[in-house]
Amino acid sequence: MGFTSAGFPQHFTHPLVVGELRNGPTVMLLDAEVQSWHAEQAFIDARAALVGPPRAALDGPLTFDTIRIQITGLDAYAGIGPIKSFTFPTDAQGFYKHKWQVEPNPDSTQSWTDEHATVTISWPSAIAQEFAFFRMAFSPQLTIELAQPIGFEDCLDEWIEPLRRIISLATGRTEDITFLSVGRPGAGDRHDEFQVYGHKLDQVPFATRDNVVRKIRTAFRANTEQLSPLHLLRAWQRLRDEHHPLLETYGASIVLPRQHPRSSYLLLVQALEGLYGHEHQAEYDQRVVAHMTKRDDALAALAPLPDLPANVMKFLKKYLMRKPHGSLDSCLDEMFTSLPYDVRDELNATLLVQQISQDAGQSVGLLEALRTVRNGLSHGTKGYPTQDLHAVVQILDRVTRAHMLRVLGCGPDAQDHAARGDRL
């Protein structure tokens, strides 16, 4: 007599699981982990869930040619609102004699195109109408249309996450994705759109409110020349491909949760050092050659000395540096002075910098004070009051943000606003 048996629990991993929800939509689960504790039930954890129309066409590679996204702060970054003007009666009698009118602003739909992509900011509207209630709301949305479809990972890495970081750079805040969908050709002339669900992505789009937008500080806006989302996205992609150090340090941290000021201070200084070294690579290479020449000459001069013990010569060869010391002072000095707005007076006024001078018992310059703090924190030999450190971190963050805008191609005005912490 034959029989079938299976052991539980069972665990499987699949790059893609496709199914249908009970109410009809197609669902695709990416990087799915399936756990089953008995034959009739399973639990699935996935990196992301893509929910689309019933019987969506899934033939061929899983690629997409359209991305629709909403990010907090997008309305402030857009720079042009959807309403040009409105009129309404202001007295009781006029309420019955005059019309309520809203004139849309056609300039609020902005589009930028290159050979491979089109990026559009638009303002879809929603109307709520009841017996004694009427409301019209506009919701900012950015659409990316690609000439060639790409995979979901490429959508994230090349377009979605860079855009989130660019808007965060514009606003100086950590912005969140509130709506995301990706689209691909469907059956016939249909274009299937899949809403994306994942970690911290709950599909809760917002309508713009004036009192919210006015509180957002933007260093630059999309309607400014050379600061469009497409222009900045292309710049971001180029920097990513060349592994630019500022992009891989500060750029990667823009949307992360805020760290302790100690960690933030070290990250910001490291980011500025990396930028300085990247932009002075040729100069540094020349210094290395000159240093090695002097090192070789020094060792050659010592080698013939008859009284020099062999172990001393061995020590010198091993520990005499083959590369010159880097100069944090030179780095920070250039990072401060090369921006349209100089933050040194603000830094000198902080309690942390003033305390360093008091501890030294003498007047200590700003650059030496910042270097002293970095060395103490990185080597674990010194700590500082959190609030005092935080005040310096806030200023250094503005400096680093301004330089991030510079390497992306933003002009002096945007850099100035970022360094000052001003709003447009």
Determine which helix (DSSP H) or strand (DSSP E) holds 49, and give its type and residue range: strand 48-52
Q: What pLDDT is stored for residue 379 in this prediction?
A: 87
Environment class of 170 (CB within 10 Å of its CB; exposed 0-12, middle 13-18, buried 19+): buried
Residue 63 φ/ψ, nearest 5 degrees: -125, 160
Cβ atoms 148, 267 nearer than 8 A: no
Q: What is the crossing angle of helices 161-171 and 229-241, to 10°?
A: 110
Residue with tokens 């210094």: 287
Q: What pLDDT is stored for residue 284 in this prediction?
A: 58
Selection from 26-40, 317-331, 394-408 with the highest mean pLDDT: 394-408
Name residues whose C-beta falls within 8 Å of residue 403's C-beta, 6 or more positions apart in sequence. 246, 272, 275, 335, 339, 415
Determine which helix (DSSP H) or strand (DSSP E) holds 113, and give its type and residue range: strand 110-113
Nearest CA to 415 out of 423, 424, 404 is that of 404
**pLDDT tier at 44 (50, 70, 90 boundaries)?**
confident
Environment class of 22 (CB within 10 Å of its CB; exposed 0-12, middle 13-18, buried 19+): exposed
| CA 87 to chain centroid | 40
- Residue 267 scores a pLDDT above 70: yes
- Residue 92 scores a pLDDT above 70: no
What is the distance between the alpha carbons of residues 340 and 70, in angstroms, rounded to a whole number? 32
- Residue 5 scores a pLDDT above 70: no
- Residue 135 scores a pLDDT above 60: yes
- Residue 282 scores a pLDDT above 70: no
- Residue 93 scores a pLDDT above 80: no
Can you say whether the dihedral through the CA atoms of 348, 261, 376, 371 is positive or negative? negative
Cβ atoms 20, 53 nearer than 8 A: no
What is the distance between the alpha carbons of residues 160 and 177, in angstroms, rounded to a whole number? 9
Q: What pLDDT is stored for residue 155 in this prediction?
A: 96
First-to-last alpha carbon distance for the chain, in angstroms, is: 81
> 41 vs 346, which has greater pLDDT?
346
**pLDDT tier at 2 (50, 70, 90 boundaries)?**
low
Percentage of the chain exceeding pLDDT 70: 90
**pLDDT tier at 325 (50, 70, 90 boundaries)?**
low
Q: What pLDDT is stored for residue 117 in this prediction?
A: 96
What is the distance between the alpha carbons of residues 289 and 286, in angstroms, rounded to a whole number? 5
- Residue 294 scores a pLDDT above 80: no
DSSP-assigned beta bridge partners for residue 151: 63
Residue with tokens 């933030």: 264
- Residue 351 scores a pLDDT above 80: yes
Q: What pLDDT is stored for residue 61 in this prediction?
A: 87
DSSP-assigned beta bridge partners for residue 87: 101
What's the pLDDT tens digit per position in 146-204?
Answer: 999 999 999 999 999 999 999 999 999 999 999 999 999 888 788 899 999 988 787 88
Mean pLDDT of the chain: 86
> 320 vs 153, which has greater pLDDT?
153
- Please count the residues of the chain: 424
Q: What pLDDT is stored for residue 329 in this prediction?
A: 86
Residue 280 three-state SS = coil
Nearest CA to 273 out of 409, 136, 378, 390 is that of 378
Determine which helix (DSSP H) or strand (DSSP E) holds 1, and give its type and residue range: none
412: amino acid identity, one letter = P
- Residue 291 scores a pLDDT above 80: no
| CA 43 to chain centroid | 33
What is the distance between the alpha carbons of residues 264 and 394, in angstroms, rounded to a whole number? 9
> 391 vs 212, which has greater pLDDT?
391
DSSP-assigned beta bridge partners for residue 120: 111, 143
> 324 vs 418, which has greater pLDDT?
418
Q: What pLDDT is stored for residue 302 in this prediction?
A: 72
What's the pLDDT tens digit per position in 64-76?
Answer: 999 999 999 999 9
Q: What pLDDT is stored for residue 361 in this prediction?
A: 65
Q: What pLDDT is stored for residue 309 in this prediction?
A: 77
Residue 375 three-state SS = helix
Q: What pLDDT is stored for residue 281 in this prediction?
A: 63
Q: What pLDDT is stored for residue 323 in this prediction?
A: 61
DSSP-assigned beta bridge partners for residue 104: 83
Q: What pLDDT is stored for residue 8 in this prediction?
A: 59
Q: What pLDDT is stored for residue 66 in this prediction?
A: 97
DSSP-assigned beta bridge partners for residue 118: 113, 145
Cβ atoms 334, 273 nearer than 8 A: no
Q: What is the mean pLDDT of residues 229-237?
A: 96
What's the pLDDT tens digit per position in 356-391?
Answer: 878 776 677 899 999 999 989 988 888 899 999 999
Q: What is the mean pLDDT of residues 227-243?
A: 95
Q: What pLDDT is stored for residue 287 in this prediction?
A: 65
